[in-house]
Structure 1
Amino acid sequence: MRGGCKNEIDSIGSSSLSFWLIFGKVLLGRYLVAPSFFGGEGCSVKDKQNYFHKEFDWKPISVLLVLATVWGANMATIKIAEREIAPLFMAGTRSLVATVGLYIWMRVKGLKAFPAKNVTYHGLVVGLLFGTEFGLIYMGLQYTLASRVYILLYTAPFFAALGAHYFLGGDRLTPWKAAGLIIAFCGILVLFLKKLGTFSADTLPGDIMALTAGAMWGGTTVYIKRFLAHRTEPLQTLFYQVLFSVPLLFCLSWLFESPLFHDVSVTGILALAYQCIIVAFLSYLVWFELVHRYQVSLLHAFSFFTPVLGVLISGVIMLGEPIGASLIVALVLVSIGMVLVNKG
């Protein structure tokens, strides 16, 4: 089993090498050189009220596809690591490592962690929402099927679009966007249709947890855009999210998980390292850069690619499974949906 896991980790690295190169270029371009990749020169926090891009060109789209690939591979690393490390403890560790890395990075850049009291309050809200979201996902998996969790979690773009429509000026839910979201969601349904199982009272608690997690994911993004995007840098926003989620996740782990470790191997540690460094630190940093600059409804819509690419990476690339009709149909529907969303 461990040998197979090692091959899975190796496959993730080799198959995604080109994506890491783009990913690194984006990250370095924004934080160490210049943010021109995202359109325009750098801006101060005070200028961000007027730094809201409505044009969604190839640049943010290419970055979102890289992120979807990173997060799709993350689905595989979670499956690998959870055999050896308790999932809530793993999520808490991920946030803790990201918190330390972000704090060091902010000190190097001369950024204050908490520039104002009202920012601290909003940061606390965001961190608690983030921690609760992941707690619901991991606990929901104990009561219902993983396929049902994926589908209900990816109702998040609908919640984000509705929240943006009512609470964010200039980010309206148009008929084109609504149609695109529905078509893309149908793609996710097609992808997991055979694994849904039947509804029962036993799965209801897990289904509710997953749906609530989806609502919190979409709602958190809207909250950040409304209350933090014009007050903080993306580094600070992510710092608040992971910092305040740490005690909540470790507390949930202490209450519900035992034992925390089971024959931990190098493979499990590598899988956890991927989640800590690549996902929680680097990919989320790029994600919040996008959240600070672009429409929430457009950004969240592209997250529909994540489960599709996750199945492609974990099943087809890593395990050598044939490309099924459901995967092709799902990819086509999600792609059509994104064209319509972008048109809106």
Structure 2
Amino acid sequence: MIAARKSLDGLSAGLMLILCACWGMQQVAIKIAAPGVGTILQTGVRSLIAALLVAALMLLRGTAFFGRDATLWPGVAAGLLFALEFLCVAVGLNHTTASHMVVFLYTAPIFTVLGLHWLVPGEHLRLGQWLGILIAFGGIGLAFSAGFEEHGSTSTLIGDGLGILAGVLWAATTILIRRSSLSEAAPTKTLLYQLGVSALVVLPLAAAMGQFGAVSMTPVIWASMVFQSVVVTFASYLAWFWILRRYLASRVSVFSFLTPLFGVGFGVLLLNETVGVRFATGAALVLGGIVLVNVKRSPQPVPV
């Protein structure tokens, strides 16, 4: 069967803007809740809550949990990659700032387009689009270069390295979904695999580290956990999978370069971070790079 993935249109671009804002806020929300809930425990709890919400949605829709669709092992693999990605984020945020983490995590589009370019028919990028990727990535580096100079400690470098590893794992998850039977599975089923496996892996780890016994909730921390669990991990990820099934993954993934900009914007509002001319210049380069990558061309059929 041949299915056509499209380039970005107005609907997908608008939806991606909303998703990028949510994802940019996530790292700030984790930092806000960290004094009362360990970062690893946060990961496990939000995965569990979102998994239950997805399961309830599947029951309401009458979507089968099991079937002979060859998704079990790809689903387990995607879940393990998902769990490892967010473990890297959780541990990394104990060593680096939210701004650093969001920048390095969102190197994922670079690794995604490289993998898709070689592995998935119809995902090849033109020279101008590669140039757009380079410009966007350079813009992110410029926007945060001052911060990197100020926080170049050994601890920060550990956190930054874990952020890059999380980006690689995220890219690997995207490629696995596109290259396996999960590409045509219901988004709810794909997400349930990721969330369920993540909860099974991360919650025992958080318990072993004693994080269940060090919980101290406040209204702000409750709000952070609800946002992480319901808005980001449940609603935004469902929307993300819906987009992946209909649009070329390389175009969509590169659009997420906007997320670090939203992340720093929320950091300014909520964590009193400061930005200057260097950041504004970097932001302009990021937007310019995204425009280059998403120049429309006739969609090519993708074998699935």
TM-score (norm 1): 0.79
Distance 1:65 1:124 in 2: 30
Distance 1:86 1:97 in 2: 16
Distance 1:97 1:343 in 2: 38
Alignment correspondent of 2:167: 214
Alignment correspondent of 1:224: 177
Distance 2:89 2:273 in 1: 27
Distance 1:201 1:321 in 2: 21
Tell whether the 8 Å contact from 2:4 to 2:246 is kept in structure 1 after alignment: yes
Q: Give aligned pairs, total.
A: 295
Alignment correspondent of 2:299: none
Q: How big is the shift at 1:260? A: 4.8
Alignment correspondent of 2:261: 308
CA deviation vs aligned residue, 1:244-288 (integer Å, no higher than 9, x gap):
111111133234454653431121111100111000110110000
One of 171, 174, 177 as aligned partner of 2:126: 174
Q: How big is the shift at 1:52? A: 2.8
One of 279, 288, 291 as aligned partner of 1:336: 288
Q: Residues 150 and 321 (structure 1 numbering): CA distance in 2 closer, same or farther, change over 3 Å?
A: closer
Q: How big is the shift at 1:343? A: 2.1
Tell whether the 8 Å contact from 2:116 to 2:123 is kept in structure 1 after alignment: yes
Distance 1:338 1:130 in 2: 26
One of 29, 41, 44 as aligned partner of 1:89: 41
Tell whether the 8 Å contact from 1:126 to 1:224 is kept in structure 2 after alignment: yes
Alignment correspondent of 2:241: 288
Q: How big is the shift at 1:323? A: 6.2
Alignment of 1:24-35 (within 5 A): none
Secondary structure, counterpart of 2:4 in structure 1: coil
Q: How big is the shift at 1:213? A: 1.2
Segment drifting more, 127-136 vs 115-124: 115-124
Q: Residues 187 and 252 (structure 1 numbering): CA distance in 2 closer, same or farther, change over 3 Å?
A: farther
Q: How big is the shift at 1:147? A: 4.3
Alignment correspondent of 1:190: 142
Alignment correspondent of 2:202: 249
Distance 1:295 1:94 in 2: 29
Distance 2:271 2:44 in 1: 29
Alignment correspondent of 2:75: 123
CA deviation vs aligned residue, 1:146-170 (integer Å, no higher than 9, x gap):
5443333222111100111111110
Which structure carries more relative contact order (alpha carbon 8 Å, separation 6+)? 2
Alignment correspondent of 1:6: none
Q: How big is the shift at 1:242? A: 0.6
TM-score (norm 2): 0.88
Tell whether the 8 Å contact from 1:53 to 1:293 is kept in structure 2 after alignment: yes
Alignment correspondent of 2:227: 274
Identify unmatched segments of 5+ residues in structure 2: 297-304
Distance 2:30 2:252 in 1: 24
Segment drifting more, 279-288 vs 302-311: 302-311
CA deviation vs aligned residue, 1:32-53 (integer Å, no higher than 9, x gap):
xxxxxxxxxxxxxxxxx53432
Distance 1:175 1:257 in 2: 51
Secondary structure, counterpart of 1:343 in structure 2: coil
